[in-house]
A and B are shown apart, each in its own frame.
Chain A
């Protein structure tokens, strides 16, 4: 496994936070996914060895928690809240708008590779819904117009990059 020296350092540091190594499974998965984009088989085996566990102990965690994924996603990850308070303010329409903008469907990487759009459950921002997370950043009151503006921004960044 090729991990950056900083990541390896953070991994060694975080293991010291717990009296039992196994507790570091989630932090290690987060660190590896942040660097590699998803959790590969190799990563599962590497983390298991690092924490003196069996690969199944890591694999069962990866398959349970919604935030860990075993496949790459688009360059940007758009997560639209599906739950009631957001839906009452148009969350479903917001999600469809994003899908239309990137000519894709929920769960798939868009044809241009830019985004993966997903429904997620309540993001604890119910009073300012529809709530959307793009990578690590929360966006509030994302109605269709705001969804189009956010999509335009992502597309502009993509265009600037390929220039």
Chain B
């Protein structure tokens, strides 16, 4: 049962008894009515609805969807492609998986409306390799939709035609980055492309204009086409419109996946009311609020938020509303909506060691600062945990991280340095004291993270 604080739009049917991923079930719920209605409208009108809605991308960066669509080169004479980013690989993020596995037709309807609006004739769903059942479910759903004239030639009996194919990845995180994804879809190593000149909107898949949107984003498009951009903008808060899927993992009583109106509930209510607070006898220590790359928050820090009218708000983590702008104001990001909670058993050097191993494994190796830097950050934290820790290691880690961000082809450089920079900045004492910590007997409830 959804929590009373939730507002389920995208997740309306997730885990609903009796709801199945087949077309018949979707049609019983009024499925594809919005597509039928939409293909009767001029495409530009649909783009305007999306612009009016204020929809921001749910893949991580929160980029305005209407603006992204506006940037597409429509004069080149080349075909325009739409790629659905179903790579869901940012640690802590687990939301698209439920749409894909339980409600694939909602996604397909969103894709088809977006394709129609942008005059796209071919869409690809790039799904991570670790969702083999998800890929099959999507393929079955597309075949059903094709047989019913919702995908393929002459959609809903009209003149418009568009095909969707599913393309499976093979276990590489960097394929979530949109230009790495495009290279991967072209059958190559997923080395991200340099921007400029390779903005997907102009030179994307096969050097054609390409739109890359996250699974959740495209589901929102369906609801925008349904209720109208103006009405959608009334959900959530200004500049953070609509609902948001949030996943909570780690040390809470009730981890899980939820949907809320953006900005309408705080991180405190999420973790204490919805997720039941810390485990018995434990205290929250730190929170990574928007996927593993987002900067960590200390549970005892204060955030001074300057308002437009000059007043200053004084927030603890409990007071931060769940939206893009509030997290940005606190020096981190809402990112992909993956909240990772750590309690007082966790040593932050060890937690960082875990994440550094991830980033070292996933760097594509193209840019020297990232390839070497992510590896050294991993080696240093692994040495601290398994070998000898030095008082100056925190400084050393920061020094390495500071030389990566801003010096790479793609934002993986930032993604891999933000954890190190923020962990060391906020828990510097723990890094300094780690050598001493190791001389003490290891607490019985200590966790193995590296």
Contact = CB atoms under 8 A, between A and B. Distances in A.
Interface of A: 17-20, 22-27, 29-30, 51, 57, 60-61, 64-68, 82-85, 87-90, 92-93, 120-129, 133, 136-138
B340 A126 contact: yes
A116 to B, nearest CB: 15
Nearest to A64: B189
A61 B184 CA distance: 9
B448 A123 contact: no
Nearest to B362: A121
A23 B338 CA distance: 31
Given A26-B167, A27-B168, A88-B342, A127 B249 contact: yes
Contacts of B133: 136-138
Given A20-B206, A124-B97, A65 B170 contact: yes
Given A88-B447, A121-B91, A126-B340, A61 B257 contact: no
Contacts of B338: 126
A80 B362 CA distance: 17
Interface residues on B, range: 35 or more
Given A65-B172, A124-B89, A133 B167 contact: no
B93 A84 contact: no
B292 A67 contact: no
26 contacts: A23-B186, A23-B187, A26-B184, A30-B129, A60-B188, A64-B172, A64-B364, A65-B169, A66-B171, A67-B171, A83-B354, A84-B91, A84-B250, A84-B449, A85-B250, A88-B447, A120-B171, A121-B173, A124-B96, A124-B131, A126-B91, A126-B94, A126-B247, A127-B248, A127-B249, A136-B133
A129 B132 CA distance: 19
Contact of A126 (B92, B130, B447): B92
Contacts of B428: none
Contacts of A129: 249
A117 B133 CA distance: 21
B184 to A, nearest CB: 7
A125 B173 CA distance: 15
Contacts of A26: 167-170, 184, 187
A128 B248 CA distance: 10
B128 interface: yes
B256 interface: yes
Contact of A24 (B187, B249, B256): B187
Nearest to A19: B206
The 5 closest A-B pairs by CB, nearest first: A65-B170, A25-B187, A85-B249, A66-B171, A126-B249
A127 B255 contact: yes
B256 A127 contact: yes
Interface in B170-219: 170-173, 184-190, 206
A69 to B, nearest CB: 10
Contacts of A89: 250
Given A65-B170, A121-B173, 15 more contacts: A22-B186, A23-B187, A24-B187, A68-B170, A82-B357, A84-B354, A85-B92, A87-B354, A88-B346, A88-B447, A92-B449, A122-B89, A125-B97, A126-B247, A136-B133
